[in-house]
Structure 1
C-alpha cells in the first residue's frame, strides 16, 4: 500500500528527552508527531529520512545494520549525550536507494558508519518510541541545489509503493539567532508563502516556486543557511502530483515564530494540529 510523504519540522536538539520550559515549547509539535502513525495506511516497512543535519559532497545513504548516534548539539544536559534511539538500519533498502538514484543518473555514495543525528532521532522518538521501524538516513548534497534534491525525490518515489515512508526532516523556520518574538513577522510571511506553495498551487507550479524559494518573503531571514529547508525538496520530488496538507502549524513556537509540517498523499482531511496560535494549544 502506498505511503504518503512527509516534511516535518523536527524541533530543537534532544528535546523529547528534556523537561521544563524548553521541552514545553514543543508540546504542540510533539502532539502532531504522535498523531502521525494514525495518518498512515499501515505501519511502514521502513522509514527513509533526508535530514537537515547531514550533508555530503554527493548524496549518501547510510548502510549500517545497527546505526549509532550522532550528538550534533551542544549545551544540553549530560544525559542527552548518552540517549539511544535503537531502531535497526536497513542495509538492503540502502542498495535499492543506490539503484534508483543511479538509474536516474544521480551519484549516490554509501556510508557504513553514519548514525542517527538529532534531525532523525528527536523527530522519530515521539512517532515510534518503541524504535521498531527500520530507519535509513539520507544525506543532503552540500551545494543545496533545489533542482538536484527535487530530482532525487522523483527518483526515490517508487519506494512509496514498496511500503517505505519518505520523510524530509528540517524546520520551516531556522535562524538560530532569531528564535524569539522578533522573528514573528518574517516567519509568518515565509510560512504563508510556504503554505500557499505546498497546498494551493499545482504540482508543476509548486516545483517552479521552490526552485526560487529564496525570492519568497523574508526567505533569507528565515533560512540564512537553507540546510533545514532543502529536505523539503526531496519530499516534494517524491510526492509527484500529490497535493500537500498542513498537518502541524503554530505561530507562537519558542516565543513567537511560525512553524509548520506537511503531508503529501494519503487522506487529505484537515488535521486538528493545523491550528494557528497559542490559543490552539489551550
Structure 2
C-alpha cells in the first residue's frame, strides 16, 4: 500500500489557496518555559508576532507533539480541546495555565480523509472526546499566539512505527501549507531527562548531546532531510541523546512537510540542563 494520499478525497483543495505557510520544529524543553521570562519564551513570542504580521496569518495550526502516542495515528476533532497538564512536580502557577484555542472538527475530518496512515492506507482516526492540547502544544503556542483565536488540531504519533513512516506522513502534510495551515512539530533534538543537570548554563552540555545536536543540524542545514530518519545508526550517541525517541519524532513530521525550495533558519540554539537541546528551526 503506498504511503501517499493520491487516492484520498481532495476536499481540502476546495479551500482558497494562500501564500505557503512556514513549517516549524520547536524545542519545547521544560514546561516551565511556558511561564518563565527566559530567552526561549521570548523567542516564541517574537516568532508569533512575525507570523501574525504576515499578509495571510495562519488559519489553522496542526501540531505534532512528543506527548501524544497512540496505536495508529489520530487527530483531535473536538470543538473545544481541553488544556492537558501532563506533568507533575511543578508550581501551581503552571497547572493554572489554560489555552482555550478552538478546535476544528471540520478541518480534522478533511485532513483525516486526505492523509493516509503509512503502510495501511487507512484514514486517520478522529478523536472527538479524549485528548486535547498537551503541554508540548500549548506551552509553545500560548507565548506565540496568546489570543488563542487560531484553531488548533493535534496529530498523534504511532511510536511503534519506524522513523521512515513518520517522515512519510509528514510528506503528506505538505499540501496543507498552501491552504493556510501552520505545521508545528514540538519535541527536542536531544532529550535525556535521566542525565539532566539543573545547574548547567544554556551553553553547557554533554559531549554526546553536542555531537547528536550537531549532526542533526548539519542534516537540516545541508537539506539532507531524509537522513534524519537514520538517527539510530549513530549508536551509543543516539541512545544517550534519546533513551526513548518520542521527542525526536516530531522533527521528522516537520522535515517531511518541507518544500524543496524552503530554506531553514535555526533559532533557540542552546541546551537546558545539559541534556535537552532547545534547537528549533523554521523553514520558509
- If the length of structure 2 is used for normalisation, what is the TM-score? 0.82
Which of the numbers 270, 281, 284 marks the counterpart of 1:251?
270
Corresponding residue for residue 230 of structure 1: 249
CA distance in 1, matches of 2:240, 2:274: 17
Over 3 Å counting, the alpha-carbon distance change for 1:68 and 1:258 in structure 2 is: closer
Q: More displaced, 39-48 or 153-162?
A: 39-48
Distance 1:263 1:178, change over 3 A: same
2:177 maps to 1:160: yes
- Matched-pair contact (CA < 8 Å) for 1:198–1:244: no
The C-alpha deviation readout for 1:210-267, integer Å capped at 9, x for no partner, is 22111237222111111011011111111132445233133353357543001122xx
Q: Structure 1's 257 and 148: CA in aligned 2 closer, same or farther, altered over 3 A?
A: closer
Q: Are 1:154 and 1:240, in contact at CA under 8 Å, matched by a contact in 2?
A: no
Stretches of structure 1 lacking an aligned partner (at least 5 in a row) = 18-22, 266-282
RMSD (Å), alpha carbons: 2.1
**How far off is 1:63 after superposition?**
0.3
Tell me the residue number matched to 1:2: 20
User: Conserved in 2, the CA contact under 8 Å of 1:153 and 1:238?
Assistant: yes
Aligned mate of 1:84, from 78, 89, 98: 98
8 Å Cα contact 1:37-1:43 kept in structure 2: no
Q: Distance in 1 between matches of 2:112 and 2:276?
A: 38
Choose which of 26, 30, 51 in structure 1 pairs with 2:41: 30
| Stretch deviating more after TM superposition (156-165 or 71-80) | 71-80
Superposition pairs of residues 130-149 of structure 1, within 5 angstroms:
130-149=147-166
For residues 60 and 103 of structure 1, what CA distance do their matches in structure 2 show? 9
Structure 2 unaligned blocks of 5 or more = 1-18
TM-score of the superposition, structure 1-length normalised?
A: 0.83
**Corresponding position: 1:111 with 2:122:** no
Moved over 6 A (4+): none
CA shift at 1:138, angstroms? 0.6
SS at match of 1:228: coil
Native 8 Å contact 1:48 1:164 kept in 2: yes
Deviates more, 1:242-251 or 1:46-55: 242-251
- Distance (Å, rounded) in 1 between the aligned partners of 2:25 and 2:147: 22
